[in-house]
Structure 1
Amino acid sequence: MGKKGDLSDFERGMIVGARRAGLSISETADLLGFSRTTISRVYREWSEKEKTSSERQFCGRKCLVDARGQRRMARLVRADRRATVTQITTRYNQGGQKSISERTVRQILRQMGYSSRRPHRVPLLSAKNRKLRLQFAQAHRNWTIEDWKNVAWSDESRFLLRHSDGRVRIWRLQHESMDPSCLVSTVQAGSGGVMVWGIFSWHSLGPLVPIEHRCNATAYLSIVADHVHPFMTTMYPTSDGYFQQDNAPCHKAGIISDWFLEHDNEFTVLKWPPQSPDLNPIEHLWDVVEREIRIMDVQPTNLRQLCDAIMSIWTKLPEECFQHLVESM
Structure 2
Amino acid sequence: MINRIHLCVIKSLYKCTCSVIVSEFCLKRREHHEDQGTHQAAGFGYKNFSQGLNISRSTVQAIVLKWKAYQTTANLPRPGRPSKLSAQTRRLIRDAATRPMITLDELQRSTAEVGDFVHRTTISCILHKSGLYGRVARRKQFLKDIHKKSCLKFARSHLGDTPNMWKKVLWSDEPKIKLFGHNAKCYVWCKSNTAYHPEHTIPTVKHGGGSIMVWACFSSAGTGKMVKMDGKMDGAKYRTILEENLLESAKDLRLERRFIFQEDNDPKHKAKSTLEWFTNKRIQVLVCPVLQFPFFSNKSSQFSVLKVQLLEMKKNTAARRAFIPSPTPPNTY
Do these two structures clear the TM 0.5 threshold for a shared fold by scoring above it?
yes
2:139 is paired with a residue whose SS is: coil
User: Residue 132 of structure 2 aligns to which amino acid in structure 1?
Assistant: Y
Does 2:152 correspond to 1:148? no
* Corresponding position of 2:103: 84
Larger relative contact order (CA 8 Å, sep ≥ 6):
1
* Corresponding position of 1:93: 112
Q: How does 1:10-49 map to 2 (within 5 A)?
A: 49=70
> Hey, what's the Cα distance between the residues in 2 that align with 1:52 and 1:248?
72
Q: 1:238: Cα distance to partner?
A: 4.3
Q: 1:244: Cα distance to partner?
A: 0.3
* Corresponding position of 1:271: 287
> Hey, what's the Cα distance between the residues in 1 that align with 2:166 and 2:267?
25
> How many residues are treated as equivalent by the alignment?
252
1:146-168: per-residue Cα shift (whole Å, max 9, x none)? 11111110000011012332421
- Cα 1:67/1:139, change in 2 over 3 Å: farther
* Corresponding position of 1:230: 248
Residue of 116, 123, 128 corresponding to 2:134: 116
What's the Cα RMSD here?
2.8
- Cα 1:53/1:263, change in 2 over 3 Å: same
2:115 is paired with a residue whose SS is: coil
> Hey, what's the Cα distance between the residues in 2 that align with 1:52 and 1:88?
37
Does 2:84 correspond to 1:61? no
Is contact 1:277-1:283 (8 Å) kept?
no
Q: How does 1:129-140 map to 2 (within 5 A)?
A: 129-140=147-158
- Cα 1:175/1:76, change in 2 over 3 Å: same
> Hey, what's the Cα distance between the residues in 2 that align with 1:271 and 1:47?
76
1:210 is paired with a residue whose SS is: strand
Q: 1:49: Cα distance to partner?
A: 4.1
- Cα 1:152/1:67, change in 2 over 3 Å: farther
> Hey, what's the Cα distance between the residues in 2 that align with 1:215 and 1:222?
11
Q: 1:48: Cα distance to partner?
A: 6.8
TM-score, with normalisation over the residues of structure 2? Answer: 0.68
Does 2:195 correspond to 1:177? yes
Structure with the higher helix share, 1 or 2: 1
* Corresponding position of 2:303: 286
1:276-302: per-residue Cα shift (whole Å, max 9, x none)? 34332221111111111222364679x
* Corresponding position of 2:276: 258
> Hey, what's the Cα distance between the residues in 1 that align with 2:221 and 2:160?
21
- Cα 1:68/1:166, change in 2 over 3 Å: farther
> Hey, what's the Cα distance between the residues in 1 that align with 2:166 and 2:209?
38
- Cα 1:189/1:278, change in 2 over 3 Å: farther
Q: 1:60: Cα distance to partner?
A: 2.0
Is contact 2:173-2:264 (8 Å) kept?
yes
Residue of 48, 68, 91 corresponding to 1:71: 91
Is contact 2:266-2:291 (8 Å) kept?
no
User: Residue 111 of structure 1 aligns to which amino acid in structure 2?
Assistant: K
Structure 2: runs of 5 or more not aligned? 1-65, 319-333
User: Residue 212 of structure 1 aligns to which amino acid in structure 2?
Assistant: D
- Cα 1:65/1:139, change in 2 over 3 Å: farther
Q: Which of structures 1 and 2 has the bigger CA Rg?
A: 2
Is contact 1:172-1:182 (8 Å) kept?
yes
> Hey, what's the Cα distance between the residues in 1 that align with 2:86 and 2:160?
48
Q: How does 1:291-306 map to 2 (within 5 A)?
A: 291-296=308-313, 298=315
Structure with the higher strand share, 1 or 2: 2
1:195 is paired with a residue whose SS is: strand
